[in-house]
Structure 1
Amino acid sequence: MQEATAHIGQFVTILVMALALGMDAFSLGIGVGMKGIRLRDILKISTVIALFHILMPLLGMFTGHYMSALLGQVATYAAGGLLVLLGLHMIYNSFRGGEQTFDHRSPVGILLFSLGVSMDSFSVGVSLGMFQSDLVLTILSFGFCGGLMSILGLLLGRRVSRNLGDYGEAVGGAILLAFGLLFIF
């Protein structure tokens, strides 16, 4: 009985963490979705985010056995810096007009965005790696929640972008910039 209670407690803890980490993908997905995005691109981006939400905590858990807590803070700063750069670039492109040099739907854009929203999963993985945590449950929960929350955020951003018109990219960039600064500070 005590063992079953411990497993349920661990499951609830991991699920809450997965949802919290998925909220980043949701919030930032709103910003990207505001640029205007097709359903096919939403599926591609969300799939890559889900894969990164599996890979990053997995790598973090293995690293957590060997690294100190300092690495988690460095990863958070790196994720914040990446999001600040992406946000500034989106804002710049929205006012510049013309041909865009960076597209979140491009393979490089998808990878950079997915890495940015999954960096905190690595940090959490490092922390979980220092404890005995169910590896399969953790990475599958993180991947599912990250993918699902990014789909929801991208769809919501897409819907909002229809009402904002050309300013959608600037608003989306401001959202990415704000979250990047929150990661750093």
Structure 2
Amino acid sequence: MNLASLVFLAFAMSTDAFAAAIGKGSSLHKPKLLQALRVGVIFGVIEAITPIVGWFIGQAASQFVASWDHWIAFTLLLLLGLHMIYNGVKPEDADEQTEKPQQHGFWLLAVTGFATSIDALAVGVGLAFVNVNIWLAAGLIGLATMTMVTIGVMLGRVIGSVMGKRAEMLGGVVLIIVGATILYEHLSA
């Protein structure tokens, strides 16, 4: 696999994280570039680690991972998306702070990052059978994801300021669509 193919693969692997980042950015209160970069780094590191893990798994048990990865990704993204939709439609208590959070917690970002990187895990399994430098591939995937997620959060900021609370619901719908797309692509292949 040549360098151009690896770069294309890296950006293809980051598209679902980009869509999720738009939802995350829209649910924050005017995220700044540093906050967007934080989200990008968390997603990028997770997205870089998963193909390496997949590569090692591919050495031992590729059949199991390949047959379940899409279901795991779909379930995680569905649950996260439903949670975001619920937060968007639930009435706010007078006691609750009505402003959007300044940033998402690490664990929420990590779970979302992991959910969008399940396909990278499967790619890592596939790369175990190809003559490729897994460290270079993982680094490119992580860098592309960090870049795309940072841009996605900042784009979500614009969408969020225009749409208000509906933006969080839209972000949830986007996560569900990403999960359904992953599931559809694997089931129709």
What does residue range 1-185 of structure 1 map to in structure 2 within 5 Å? 10-37=2-29, 38-39=31-32, 40-98=34-92, 105-185=104-184
* Structure 1 residue 70 displacement after superposition: 4.1
Q: Which runs of 5+ in 2 are unaligned?
A: 185-189
2: CA distance between counterparts of 1:23 and 1:184? 15
What is the aligned residue count?
Answer: 175
Amino acid across the alignment from 2:90 = R
Question: What are the ranges of 5 or more consecutive residues in structure 1 without an aligned counterpart?
Answer: 1-8
Q: Provide runs of 4+ in structure 1 moved above 3 Å.
A: none
1:13-38 Cα distance to aligned partner (Å, 9 max, x none): 11111110011111111122111252
Quick one: percent identity of the two aligned structures? Answer: 27
Q: Is the 8 A contact 2:36 2:151 kept in 1?
A: no
CA distance in 2: counterparts of 1:155 and 1:114, whole angstroms: 17
Q: Matched residues in 1 for 2:35 and 2:87: separation?
A: 20
CA distance in 1, matches of 2:158, 2:152: 10
TM-score for both structures, normalised by structure 1: 0.87
Q: Matches of 1:165 and 1:10 in 2, distance apart?
A: 44
Return the letter of the residue paired with 1:180. Answer: G
CA RMSD of aligned residues (A): 1.8
Deviation string 1:157-184 (CA, Å, 9 cap, x unpaired) is 1111111112111111111111112222
Correspondence for 1:6: none
Q: Distance in 2 between matches of 1:137 and 1:79?
A: 24
Cα displacement (A) at 1:77 = 1.4
Supply the distance in 2 between the matched residues of 1:42 and 1:124 (Cα, whole angstroms).
26
Q: TM-score, length-normalised on structure 2?
A: 0.86
